[in-house]
Amino acid sequence: MYKDKKVVFSGVQPSGMLTIGNYLGAIQNFPTFSEQYRCYYCVVDLHAITVRQNPAELRRRTYETLALYMACGLDPEKNVLFAQSHVSAHAELGWILDCYTMFGELSRMTQFKDKSAKNADNINAGLFTYPALMAADILLYQTELVPVGSDQKQHLELARDIATRFNGIYGDTFVVPEGFIPKAAARVMSLADPTKKMSKSDENENAVVRILDPKDVILRKFKRAVTDSGCEVRRGEGKAAIENLMSIYGAFAKKTPEEIEREFDGRGYGDFKAAVGEACADALAPVQAEFNRLMADKAYLEEVMAKGAAEAAHDTLRTMSKVRRKIGFTEIKR
């Protein structure tokens, strides 16, 4: 624990640009955490290399992800923002936890099964042990709360199991973390299929709106969004697509479902989808402007990363020395 504050930790992949689902369901709320919690937001470049990366692109995306988080309101003075590869304790504890994670457990991870199906020519050991590294990320900081998407629930459960197992063998070492999964209302669904969550890795680019999409792209994607039968902007049976658009509109324009139904009473889907696009583009404009400003200032981003890494590294020392001692590693006396 840090100065008696409980800890929030979240990791984000530097791959694929974040969507309005990530924004509305998660990132938008992150700045409020920092009043109550000690917050770590980590760009997980070690996890990224479990699938083959283009080096220049990985580097650029790491900067971009950091800049995007900051543009969404995460103040580097109030949060620890850093890159995973800058803090060697992640890899170190990752290895240790590999030895407390069972082959059978890792084999059951649905993300591993999905990713190995997609990358059949590169099913490497890192892809398999990915969840143990994620557990290390979390457990290193004695994290209480982990904001994650519902797709990461299984990994979080495993992190809890690993922590509990380790504590069972050696006595209390790690805090057993809780997930913080956005409630259904905050879930944004695909624009092509309202039964599926909007996913940043969707192959159909028209199904996802990204935080950094230019206005004309945003308008076009909403215009093409699937709708339901009928023509009324209302909630109800068989209205999943319209309900999804209503909740996106409501979140960006700060309107209730009742207000939206009244506003579009007697107007068609076309009008409505144009309004959703406008509201989304307007709300994202300041985020995009700030992102561009930050990306033009690499020196500042590097300064933020360096400071974040130094703080994070310092905060890992206690957990790491506890872990080493409990396992039975010898100590170097300095």
Nearest alpha-carbon partner for 241 in 251, 229, 253: 229
In total, the chain counts a number of residues equal to 334
Distance CA 97, CA 57 (A): 30
Closer by beta carbon to ligand TRP, 111 or else 167: 111
Buried b (16+ CB within 10 A) or exposed e, 271-289: ebbebbbbbbbebbeebbe
Pick the binder of ligand TRP from 7, 8, 9, 208 (CB under 6 A): 9
Indicate whether 166 belongs to the interface with ligand TRP (CB under 6 A). no
Indicate whether 272 belongs to the interface with ligand TRP (CB under 6 A). no
Minimum distance, C-beta of residue 13 to ligand TRP, in the bound complex (Å): 5
In Å, how far from its chain's centre is CA 5? 22
Minimum distance, C-beta of residue 9 to ligand TRP, in the bound complex (Å): 5
**Per-residue DSSP letters for 127-170?**
HHHHHHHHHHHHHHTT-SEEE--GGGHHHHHHHHHHHHHHHHHH
Closer by beta carbon to ligand TRP, 31 or else 149: 149
- Residues 304 and 65: beta-carbon distance below 8 Å: no
In Å, how far from its chain's centre is CA 331? 36
Size of the site for ligand TRP (CB under 6 A): 13
Which stretch, 28-36, 101-109, 147-155, 182-190, contacts ligand TRP (CB under 6 A)?
Answer: 147-155
Which stretch, 5-13, 31-39, 54-62, 98-106, contacts ligand TRP (CB under 6 A)?
Answer: 5-13
Range 92-121, binding ligand TRP (CB under 6 A): none
Distance CA 47, CA 58 (A): 11
HSE-up of residue 144 (Cα within 13 Å, Cβ side): 11
Q: Which of 5, 197, 223, 307 is catalytic?
A: 197
HEC string for 27-60: HHHHHHHHHHEEEEEEECHHHHCCCCCCHHHHHH
Range 11-30, binding ligand TRP (CB under 6 A): 11, 13
Q: Is 183 a catalytic residue?
A: no
Minimum distance, C-beta of residue 88 to ligand TRP, in the bound complex (Å): 16
Pick the binder of ligand TRP from 8, 10, 28, 242 (CB under 6 A): 10
Q: Which of 115, 221, 239, 273 is catalytic?
A: 115
Which contacts (CB < 8 Å, 24+ apart) does range 54-60 have?
A: 58/14, 58/15
Nearest alpha-carbon partner for 98 in 165, 7, 43: 165
Indicate whether 188 belongs to the interface with ligand TRP (CB under 6 A). no
Indicate whether 67 belongs to the interface with ligand TRP (CB under 6 A). no
Range 116-145, binding ligand TRP (CB under 6 A): 134, 137-138
Minimum distance, C-beta of residue 43 to ligand TRP, in the bound complex (Å): 9
Closer by beta carbon to ligand TRP, 11 or else 182: 11
Distance CA 35, CA 118 (A): 41
Give the binding site for ligand TRP (CB under 6 A): 9-11, 13, 44, 47, 134, 137-138, 146, 148, 152, 155
Active site residues: 115, 197, 200
